[in-house]
Amino acid sequence: MTASDHIKRADGWVIDTLFQPVADRLPESIPALQLGMSCQLGSLLFYGLSLLIPILVMGATVGDVIDTILVWLMGMAFFLGLQKSRHVVRANALNPLRPLLMSMRVISIIFLVYVAYRGMSVAAPYWLPAQLTTLSQLLFVVGLYLVACQPRPPRPRVSMRQGNVIEGLWPTGKIRSSQGL
């Protein structure tokens, strides 16, 4: 087996073993795709907050954080592109975003490990922005994996029968129905 086969197998294991059971247990009102997109949005918000703290609290200029602003704008573009491709995920078909985003998931996990490692050794004044960046990257990874989960098929509708319901015999010998109440 090649390295790419091992990576594909590991990525599939993470989705099938860790995230798909969670997605299957979500309430019907919150599909995994919607929760994944919410995680993506939360990632953008935390990253934006980690961008604003140095500017507002520490007196950094926009020129000092321009690279971070550009990364945030790229994340925003990715979020908007993912938002537009939500319609391709259907309940009774395979999720096309699973193979499409595999490389992005692998790269984002590597970047999460890097950001977490870097955040542990940061100087005291930059500790909060570094932790917000780590949290942002963690939400990004979780969101990517939830978006890649297979949606549940819709539950079959149960028809409600209307009419007489026999509740039992009464001392008078008559059958009581629910309509007569």
- In the structure, what pLDDT confidence band is assigned to residue 108 with cuts at 50, 70 and 90? very high
- Taking only the tens place, the pLDDT of each residue in 39-71 is 999 999 999 999 999 888 888 888 888 988 999
- Cβ of 110: how many Cβ atoms within 10 Å? 10
| The predicted structure's pLDDT at residue 159 | 60
Amino acid identity, residue 107? I
pLDDT, one tens digit per residue, over 118-172 is: 999 998 888 999 999 999 999 999 999 999 999 887 776 666 666 555 555 555 5
First CA to last CA across the chain, in angstroms?
71
Residue 23 CB burial class (10 angstroms; 0-12, 13-18, ≥19)? buried
Count other C-beta atoms under 10 Å from residue 140's C-beta: 27
Asked whether 31 and 146 are in contact (CB, 8 A), the reply is: no
This prediction has a pTM of 0.80
